[in-house]
């Protein structure tokens, strides 16, 4: 994997130089939370890589460091030691504005509790991701509508979140996550707030987007039904990745309906 030294150039320019199929490369990642009273070593040396088009689950018991890992890989949180490269770019080395811009342009996020703006309609929530990334208003509206169609919600475009079910809200956040055509979508317990049937629909949707659009996903989940639908499960225990399980084709159901 080539490393791009990215001093003043924008992240956009940097990632054009690297395309060897690896999206995420983490080595020796440590993260400790120190509240003054308690010191928690949440990540104790993580090495992993994700390839373009992969769908990977991170599983493990409560408190083992899954969310911390997602936050550290995606640059939401700072790491104490080690290195994280996304498309060959070390986000930690980018100036603040370039890092924010990189995240807005190249990453999508899906969270358990949706994180939608309650006063905005579905289409406005989705287009916000584009407007923040500097797209023109008209183009943003058109792309947002296309993304809502992809997740089967075009007819709900004008509804605000409280007028939608949990599954519909999560589909809006998935539309928002993919609308920028990101390098990777980070999903933290995307089905955690959903009943099992709706969770399966949302998982099927993510798998379809992964297969059809080559969208790369890293999904933190407690739900083995989600894990089974991915390409790989990384199992964490006490701040470390202790096991990796590749899913059989039979488990990932290649013939899932759209």
Ligand X SMILES: Nc1ncnc2c1ncn2[C@@H]1O[C@H](COP(=O)(O)OP(=O)(O)OP(=O)(O)O)[C@@H](O)[C@H]1O
- Contact positions vs ligand X (CB under 6 A): 33, 35, 40, 42, 60, 62-68
Which token pair is 43? 């990540």
Please choose, from the candidates 239, 257, 255, the residue with its C-alpha nearest in 3D space to the C-alpha of residue 44: 239
Cβ of residue 72: shortest distance to ligand X, in angstroms?
Answer: 9
Least gap, CB of 22 to ligand X (angstroms): 24
Going by C-alpha positions, the residue among 94, 66, 97 that lies closest to residue 219 is 66
What stretch of H or E contains 46? strand 39-51
Closest to ligand X by CB, 40 vs 242, is 40
Minimum CB–partner distance for residue 33 and ligand X (Å) = 3
Give the ranges where the chain is alpha helix by DSSP (H): 11-16, 66-74, 96-106, 122-132, 137-150, 166-178, 196-213, 224-227, 249-252
CB of 178 to ligand X, least distance (A): 23
Nearer to ligand X, 73 or 153 (CB): 73
Q: For ligand X, which is the closer residue by CB, 208 or 232? A: 232
Separation between Cα atoms, residue 231 and residue 178, nearest integer Å: 19
CB of 238 to ligand X, least distance (A): 9
Structure-block tokens of residue 208: 């379809």
Least CB distance from residue 111 to ligand X, whole Å? 12
Q: In terms of CB distance, is 228 or 240 closer to ligand X?
A: 240
Give every CB contact of residue 212 below 8 A, 6+ residues apart in sequence. Answer: 258
Rounded to whole angstroms, what are the CA distances from 14 to 10, 103, 112, 182?
Answer: 7, 14, 32, 15
99/222 with CB nearer ligand X: 222
Query: Which is nearer to ligand X, 4 or 110 (by Cβ)?
Result: 110
Nearer to ligand X, 60 or 182 (CB): 60
Shortest distance (Å) from residue 181 CB to ligand X: 28
- Cα separations (Å) of 110 from 4, 122, 177? 28, 15, 7
């Amino acid at each position: 994997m080539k490393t791009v030294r990215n001093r003043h150039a924008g992240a956009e320019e940097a990632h054009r130089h690297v395309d060897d199929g690896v999206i995420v490369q983490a080595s020796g990642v440590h993260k400790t939370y120190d509240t003054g009273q308690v010191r928690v070593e949440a990540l104790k040396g993580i090495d992993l890589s994700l390839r373009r088009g992969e769908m990977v689950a991170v599983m493990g018991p409560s408190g083992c460091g899954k969310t911390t890992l997602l936050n550290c890989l995606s640059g939401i949180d700072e790491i104490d030691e080690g290195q994280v490269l996304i498309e060959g770019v070390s986000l930690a080395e980018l100036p603040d504005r370039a890092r924010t811009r990189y995240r807005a342009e190249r990453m999508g996020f899906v969270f358990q509790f949706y994180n939608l703006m309650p006063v905005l309609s579905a289409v406005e929530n989705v287009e916000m991701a584009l407007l923040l990334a500097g797209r023109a208003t008209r183009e943003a509206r058109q792309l947002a509508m296309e993304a809502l169609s992809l997740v089967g919600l075009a007819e709900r475009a004008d509804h605000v979140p409280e007028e939608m079910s949990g599954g519909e809200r999560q589909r809006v956040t998935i539309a928002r996550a993919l609308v920028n055509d990101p390098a990777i979508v980070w999903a933290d317990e995307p089905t955690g707030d959903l009943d099992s049937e709706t969770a399966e629909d949302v998982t099927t949707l993510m798998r379809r987007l992964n297969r059809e659009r080559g969208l790369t996903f890293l999904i933190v989940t407690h739900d083995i039904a989600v894990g089974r639908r991915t390409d790989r499960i990384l199992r964490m225990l006490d701040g470390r990745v202790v096991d990796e399980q590749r899913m059989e084709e039979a488990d990932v159901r290649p013939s899932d309906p759209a």
